[in-house]
Amino acid sequence: MTQTSFTPGPDTLTEMRAALGCFATGVVVVTTETKRGPLAITANSFTSVSLTPPLVLWCPALQSKRHDPFVDATHFSIHVMAERDIDTALHFARNGEVFDTHDWVQSPEGVPALAQALVRLDCSHHAAHPGGDHTILVGEVLRVSQRGDLGAGLVFHQGKYGRFTD
């Protein structure tokens, strides 16, 4: 087996993306309400931060047209997607303003809550930190909704959506 090494920099972005892509992550759809209406974005940059207080984070890219509305939002919901909902994840990766093909209701905070999610975390904006070409958004979890009947979680690995198998 051959091992390669490189120093991360502007000329090794492809290699850096491939290296980081070896770490499998879950897939979430984050939603918020804006002046223009409901907004969503698909992300894999999500993790828990703290249990006390209950904090989670996710990271929208600065170059995304959806970046500013999420950074400015007082509330957002993070939906952990099931593998069977890959179409929903792909839809909101491409277009975050079209909700008419997806069942949703408003959370008590007025945030779009998708009907299909393994877990939904309703959050208030806790903090925002610069993170290179992304912003690190920390949310305090106000409410958790969980469904056990939707199967396994959707996974993102090496640029592809899929599932974890034994």
The total number of structural domains that make up the chain: 1
Distance CA 134, CA 144 (A): 26
Query: 3 or 52, which is more confident?
Result: 52
Return the percentage of the chain with pLDDT > 70, whole number: 89
* CATH code for the domain in which residue 98 is found: 2.30.110.10
Q: Is residue 46 part of a domain?
A: yes
Q: Is residue 11 part of a domain?
A: no
Distance CA 122, CA 142 (A): 6
- pLDDT tens per residue across span 79-100: 999 888 888 999 999 988 888 8
Whether the model clears a pTM of 0.85, i.e. scores above it, the answer is: yes
Which range marks the domain in which residue 66 is found?
26-161
- pLDDT tens per residue across span 12-28: 788 877 776 656 678 99
Q: Is residue 149 part of a domain?
A: yes
**Is-contact 117 80, C-beta < 8 A?**
yes
